[in-house]
Amino acid sequence: MDKGLMRYTFEPVVRCNMCGAPGSEHRVLGRRLNGHQGAFPKRKMGVAVSVLQCRRCTLIFANPQPRPFDLQDHYGVPPEAYWQESYFEVSEHYFKGVIDRFKVLAPFRSGMKALDVGAGLGKAMIALERAGFDTYGVEPSIPFRDRAISRMGRDPNRLRSGGIEEAVYDAGQFDFITFGAVLEHLYDPSASLAKALLAAPRWINPYRSTLIAMVCTPGDQRRISVARQ
């Protein structure tokens, strides 16, 4: 990525990608910067777009949608620019509530295959592995994937580089798929979910579960919904 050049096209969002609600049912939450915003985003420089929420289905999305010419124009940022050193630690409680919820929905057996979409530094992969899952991930940011491998000990053969849009897995390969705070970053979240869950060859075992963790309004806690397939 040429750090001196950021190349984008901007696509207006007319209807909610998930439920089709028109613009009259979208509300503005704030602004999104193409980089770490910190505690004082108004002091930061960069390309900013509006962040909206659909009142009907609560999906959060950028409008207009910034589409980089290259994914690394947008995601090629060192994780150290976002997180303090303590963020690289994975406590024994990390992702535990999510894993426990899965085990309520599906009888667990050691070696079940899990996929983390938007794996970042691989923290959820580590937690899933500790819980007995055979774990894989896909991550669009090259620097984040590199740190997941070099600092967090992730197997490069199990953590693929790229977006879900280009990812290819076998039909029924996974018992558990997570989209942790990912949908709001996807250009076409409904198509991405369909690719993993519905469209042949769908990646999810039809008798297992998928978890979707969505970012909510600033005053709310993270909303987690689980779709039983």
Q: 67 forms bridges with which residues in the sheet?
A: 9
Q: What's the pLDDT score for residue 197? A: 84
Separation in Å, CA 53 to CA 25, 41, 58, 62: 9, 19, 6, 9
Cβ-count burial of 141 within 10 angstroms (0-12 exposed, 13-18 middle, 19+ buried)? buried
d(Cα 78, Cα 205) in Å, to the nearest integer? 34
d(Cα 115, Cα 152) in Å, to the nearest integer? 17
Nearest to 209 by CA among 223, 190, 229, 195: 229
Nearest to 74 by CA among 142, 121, 28, 13: 142
**In 107-124, which positions are buried (b, 16+ CB within 10 angstroms) versus exposed (e)?**
ebeeebbbbbbbbbbbbb
Q: What's the pLDDT score for residue 173? A: 93
Please give the DSSP secondary-structure letter assigned to residue 147.
H
Tens of pLDDT, residue by residue, the chain (229 residues): 455 566 788 999 999 999 999 999 999 998 877 666 655 566 667 778 899 999 998 899 999 998 877 666 666 576 676 667 777 899 999 999 989 988 888 888 999 999 999 999 999 999 999 999 999 999 998 999 999 999 999 999 999 999 898 899 999 999 999 988 888 888 899 999 888 888 767 898 877 766 665 554 443 333 334 333 4
Six token digits for residue 88: 């690289």
Q: What's the pLDDT score for residue 227? A: 39
Separation in Å, CA 187 to CA 37, 137, 226: 21, 19, 22
pTM, two decimal places: 0.81
- State the Cα torsion 46-166-65-44 to the nearest 10°: -20
What is the set of domains in the chain, with CATH numbers?
8-75 (2.20.25), 87-228 (3.40.50.150)
d(Cα 104, Cα 102) in Å, to the nearest integer? 5
